[in-house]
Amino acid sequence: MIELRNLEKRYANPQTGQDFYAVRDLSLTFPDGQITALLGPSGCGKTTTLRMINRLIEPTGGQILIDGADVLAGRPEALRRRIGYVIQQIGLFPHLTVEQNVATVPDLLGQPKGKTRERVRELLGLVGLEPAQFAHKRPAELSGGQAQRVGVARALAADPPVLLMDEPFGALDPLARDHVQDAFLDIQRRLKKTIVMVTHDIDEALRMGDRVALLRGGELAQFGTPDDLVRRPASEFVRQFLGEDARLRQLAGLRVGDLARPGDAAGLPRVAADLNARSALSVMLREGAKAVAVVDSEGQMRGVVGWQALEQA
Ligand SMILES: Nc1ncnc2c1ncn2[C@@H]1O[C@H](COP(=O)(O)OP(=O)(O)OP(=O)(O)O)[C@@H](O)[C@H]1O
């Protein structure tokens, strides 16, 4: 569990000589095994908050506790070994192969080569990079999206209990982003890391975050589940930031296959299980149907999804 207590970062404004707060009186707890998205407009303090957790930025006040231990009391190097860090500009080593890049931290820690190799290959598979095809490539031979997947695999290879991610999928085009987000959520369901992820992308926060911390001007505007923010915005700012269509955006992050329940599918329009719930709603409206029948890729009926299921999703 990561706990921020009255955390602050002040900078001096060189023009006025006065201090201003990049982060102010921030208290919140990132639950174990969950993804918390740090969301908010540009300059609201997301990256500063994230980088204080692994002490790439030193706080000017407040406390950070990981499992009850004061992060600011120990050595930053020891801390960073326990905390993975993924950034948009991935920083892969250009002269190393994909496999060697992913193995960097396990090798540094002196873990047995054979075991590392096995794990690296498993991780590459998990992020959707076929090891036989990609293990021996160099970063220059990868697309931006492939390089980002390698970055994610590298962070996971170190097997840190805590992972900090700063716009990890930011450089991807929307289609590739969807794929990598899905792959990442699948991995997270298995690995259950404690993840703090910076994003300015509302859809990404609603889709990926078990919790969302929305910041404004360095302060916490609201902290809760995506549902809390969408259905129970704490202020006009939160409501406006998420937008009038927040609920639809939330539905866009859900797959009908996950919502399907047994029911009578006769006469209902059929949709694929990987269709998102927002598109399923469009199908219902277009066809004047109260529900859709969900069919998987083998043509098997998975169940039905109706208005009520969408309302409660
Ligand atoms: N080294 C620094 N010196 C002075 N001011 C800084 C410094 N780093 C950040 N700031 C300021 O602190 C505030 C918060 O910056 P931060 O990078 O945390 O925002 P952010 O929410 O991550 O923004 P973005 O989404 O644009 O990356 C901004 O006003 C920024 O200009």
Residue 144 tokens, joined: 């931006």
Residue from 92, 91, 88 nearest 46 by CA: 88
- Which pLDDT score is estimated for 270? 95
Q: Note whether 251 and 56 are within 8 A (CB).
A: no
Q: Which amino acids bring their CB within 6 angstroms of ligand 1?
A: 11, 22, 40, 42-48, 200
Residue 102 tokens, joined: 């992913």
Same domain? For 148 and 32 the reply is: yes
158 Cα to the center of ligand 1, angstroms: 28
Q: How far apart are CA 228 and CA 222, in angstroms?
A: 9
Q: Pocket of ligand 1, candidates 4, 8, 10, 11: which has the most ligand atoms within 8 Å of its Cβ, to mutate?
A: 11
The residue nearest atom 7 of ligand 1, judged by CA position, is 11
Same domain? For 83 and 156 the reply is: yes
Residue from 282, 280, 283 nearest 255 by CA: 280
User: Diameter of the chain by CA atoms?
Assistant: 71
Q: How far apart are CA 143 and CA 149, in angstroms?
A: 10
Sheet containing 270-272: order of strands: 270-272, 291-295, 301-306
pLDDT 10s digits, 270-288: 999 989 999 999 999 999 9
- Which pLDDT score is estimated for 256? 93
Domain count, the chain: 2
Same domain? For 150 and 49 the reply is: yes
Same domain? For 84 and 211 the reply is: yes
The secondary structure of 14-73 as a DSSP string is TTT--EEEEEEEEEEEE-TTSEEEEE-STTSSHHHHHHHHTTSS--SEEEEEETTEEGGG
99 Cα to the center of ligand 1, angstroms: 34
Q: Note whether 197 and 38 are within 8 A (CB).
A: yes
Same domain? For 141 and 87 the reply is: yes
- Which pLDDT score is estimated for 246? 84
- Which pLDDT score is estimated for 26? 97
Ligand 1 nearest atom to the CA of residue 200, by list position: 25
Same domain? For 266 and 232 the reply is: no
The residue among 248, 274, 302 that closes a domain is: 248
Domain limits at 42? 2-248
pLDDT band of residue 90 (cuts 50, 70, 90) is low
- Which pLDDT score is estimated for 24? 96
Is the pLDDT at 10 greater than 90? The verdict is: yes
End-to-end CA distance of the chain, in Å?
28
Q: Pocket of ligand 1, candidates 13, 42, 48: which has the most ligand atoms within 8 Å of its Cβ, to mutate?
A: 48
Same domain? For 229 and 263 the reply is: no
Is the pLDDT at 89 greater than 70? The verdict is: no
Q: In this predicted complex, what is the ipTM?
A: 0.96
- Which pLDDT score is estimated for 52? 96
The residue nearest atom 12 of ligand 1, judged by CA position, is 22
User: At 174, which amino acid appears?
Assistant: P
- Which pLDDT score is estimated for 115? 84
Same domain? For 147 and 268 the reply is: no
Q: How far apart are CA 162 and CA 195, in angstroms?
A: 6
pLDDT band of residue 307 (cuts 50, 70, 90) is confident
The residue nearest atom 28 of ligand 1, judged by CA position, is 43
CATH no. for residue 265?
3.10.580.10
Same domain? For 174 and 206 the reply is: yes
pLDDT 10s digits, 149-199: 898 888 888 778 899 999 888 877 777 788 778 888 888 888 899 999 999
Same domain? For 88 and 228 the reply is: yes
Same domain? For 277 and 135 the reply is: no
Task: Report phi then psi at 277, rounded to 5.
Answer: -65, -30
Same domain? For 82 and 222 the reply is: yes
Counting residues of the chain whose pLDDT is more than 90, the rounded percentage is 55
Average pLDDT over residues 245-256: 86
The helix/strand/coil state of 136 is coil
The predicted model scores a pTM of 0.84
43 Cα to the center of ligand 1, angstroms: 5
- Which pLDDT score is estimated for 155? 84
CATH no. for residue 181?
3.40.50.300
